[in-house]
Structure 1
């Protein structure tokens, strides 16, 4: 049996495949992929789950518009999301589709557990429902615009009346508030937690968890007239992905992180933990809500014609360049903005100039002046020791920042150290030392390359293809690319030939 402390489970929210994937889907998957890759190179047994949420009335309506069945729509569009994940270089371990048999089995089990705990009862539902959000809202939450009531997300709501099963959400109000208080990192960032606490404190009403007006969904056990409300169905995917209800689900459960958009935080931070409490299942450790991406300051909208296909940006700029831009530019948990000008500036300044130019200058010097082999250093002076120590300390700092997924801060601090390394290289002037002190030149080149090695290992989760290219150039074995290798003292392992030095990040014409 594997050591549970060595296991790490992380998920994205699952995506609705009623349309094509957009850049928001890619952004969430990139964030999750970075965290998964980081924990892998820290030596963890990582399980990274993503997938598609294929039931519900939205899928039925879109299928009807396309004159196909809902399952045909799901079968047509789910592969587009798989393709998008490949394009962003996602390292996910499983892709779940909620139409799979394994998922129906998990949903039936959690429903039965909640029912046996006396938390499910049948009644009649009457209230405001948003098809787009797959959510019910109280009238006090609505706004009115041109004779149409809108949800807090700005989506239209309609009045619905039907027989429904209800979950006793009101029973869990105090339990949830106590849990939030006892587990301060359950909801991140902090400001999002405050929003959830305020919502729960305002009072929870029992939740409608089944529908009878359509049949595209998982049937309620022992009552096939009802299908499960989409959030019972969708949220349970996180258990399905680790083989629930089989006992082996404990290998990875509870999840370390659910990475989700801020618009679905209520479902993950209120409904989901209440369902799990009812079913006597451990709660996930942290729910992290990221912000939205805006195109030139505008929210993506089909009517505005600014919904961006991720593959268009990837083809234009490159996947690592795009991953870096969004992870560096967007403050985690906040909304972010992007346009061509901003992407190009960030790529040219940070990747091409700061990192790429340093790699090019130092590696080319070794190729020309050290017979193509990384030289061994002589005695280190205080400048050498300081740059080494600062880079090693940065690895410890990164560990702390990853605990709360502060990815843009991590990249900012890595780039501060890249700037310091550039200054070290320029101040030491190895091109002049080759005329006066070859041993000192060798030491400066070694220290520079060794710190590029350390920084490249730190960058593997963020820009995996490019970071590994740099490590390939200096002959670092794949087994020596973990955080444990950052402070290695085995200098002989670096007496290796420099590869063919070509620009890692070509500049983009503005």
Structure 2
């Protein structure tokens, strides 16, 4: 199913999913996908899912939630929680604060703004994601990248830069650094998740002031901390992944075989926090 769904991708499949995978694994991965599809007789037509929800949402869900050879249920719960809430909302609220208080301009570069514990945690998660990609543990790779978004949300909630801006003085400077730190984490997410959700990641990268050509030229080396520079102007905030609305709020909308997961199980990775990330 995933292999067929990728015919609707905005880039060639080998450029999307294989950007970080070693050459000697690619053939076996394609065979595994094809076998997984052929083993299920009651699957839905993947193009129907892509037409309804978009290729990023479908590809992310099946790579994140369905292990090779297993069945699963396509659910809007996970896509809304992970892509719209954890990633999209974090970017939107951070850019909104930057526009309101800093005229959408970075007052610091990401190296000087870095809080070491946060930076170290992001770097560990990037290393985990790389290792998982190379071992074709794509679900775990997605989980590691998503956890960067989780700790970003936790960090901004704890730091409350909206309150620091109101205090002025050194607190204003601290808040400005916090926003740069979060946006650098978002930049890293855009690179690290691009093999799975390229259209979403392009929209993130574009809102961070980069061009489409710059995004398409990224490699895994661009997950290194330090890509945002002082004086860079960010785009106005707008949703990068709209929440998927369904007839049954929070329900499974398309069955692909197997046993339906509970909402609790589907949301198990949301909000695990900084402590569990390390």
TM bucket normalised to smaller: 0.7 to 0.9
2:8 corresponds to 1:28: no
* Structure 2 counterpart of 1:505: 241
Post-superposition shift, 1:364? 0.9
Among candidates 79, 86, 96, match of residue 354 of structure 1: 86
Unaligned runs of 5+ in 2: 16-22, 250-278
Q: What is aligned with 2:41?
A: 300
Contact map agreement 2:86 2:150 (CA 8 A) in 1: yes
Partner of 1:240: none
Q: Cα distance, 1:393 vs. partner?
A: 2.4
Q: Does 1:367 align with 2:102?
A: no
Are 2:92 and 1:338 aligned? no
RMSD in angstroms over aligned alpha carbons? 3.0
Indicate conservation of the 8 Å contact 1:395/1:483, yes or no: no
Higher share of residues assigned helix: 2
Structure 1: how far apart are the matches of 2:179 and 2:116? Answer: 14
What secondary structure, in the 3-state scheme, does the structure 2 residue paired with 1:350 have? Answer: helix
Q: CA, structure 1 residues 357+260, in 2 after alignment: closer, same or farther (shift >3 Å)? A: closer
Using structure 1 for the length normalisation, give the TM-score: 0.42
Distance apart, 1:490 and its partner CA? 5.8
When normalised by structure 2's length, the TM-score is: 0.74
Relative distance call for 1:495 and 1:392 in structure 2 (3 A) is farther
Residues 377 and 442 of structure 1 are in contact (CA less than 8 Å); yes or no, is this contact kept in structure 2?
no
Structure 2 Cα separation of the partners of residues 421 and 452 of structure 1:
8
- Aligned residue pair count: 233
Residue 415 of structure 1 corresponds to which residue in structure 2?
146
- Indicate how the Cα distance of structure 1 residues 490 and 90 shifts in structure 2: closer, same or farther if over 3 A, else same: closer
Equivalence for 1:434: 165
* Structure 1 CA distance for aligned equivalents of residues 34 and 49 of structure 2: 21
Question: Is the CA contact 1:28–1:259 (under 8 Å) kept in the aligned structure 2?
Answer: no
Task: Give, in whole Å, the separation in 2 of the partners of 1:458 and 1:422.
Answer: 18
The aligned counterpart of 2:9 is 88
2:122 to 388, 391, 406: 391
Distance 2:184 2:219 in 1: 14
Is the Cα–Cα contact under 8 Å of residues 375 and 445 in structure 1 kept in the other structure?
Answer: no
Contact 2:106-2:231 within 8 A present in 1 as well: yes
**Which one of the candidate residues 447, 464, 467 is aligned to 2:198?**
464
Mark the runs of 5 or more structure 1 residues left unpaired by the alignment. 1-23, 31-83, 95-253, 262-286, 302-306
Looking at structure 2, the residues matched to 498 and 413 of structure 1 have their Cα atoms a distance apart, in angstroms, of 26
Structure 2 equivalent of residue 448 of structure 1:
182
Structure 2 Cα separation of the partners of residues 490 and 398 of structure 1: 19
Q: Judging by fraction of residues, say which structure has more strand.
A: 1
The offset of 1:434, in angstroms, is 0.3
Q: 1:256 to 1:498 in 2, by over 3 A?
A: same
1:377 CA drift (Å): 5.6
Q: Residues 328 and 408 of structure 1 are in contact (CA less than 8 Å); yes or no, is this contact kept in structure 2? A: yes
Give the structure 1 partner of residue 131 of structure 2.
400
**Per-residue displacement from partner, 1:449-493 (whole Å, max 9, x unpaired)?**
01111111101111001101101111135166322122254653x
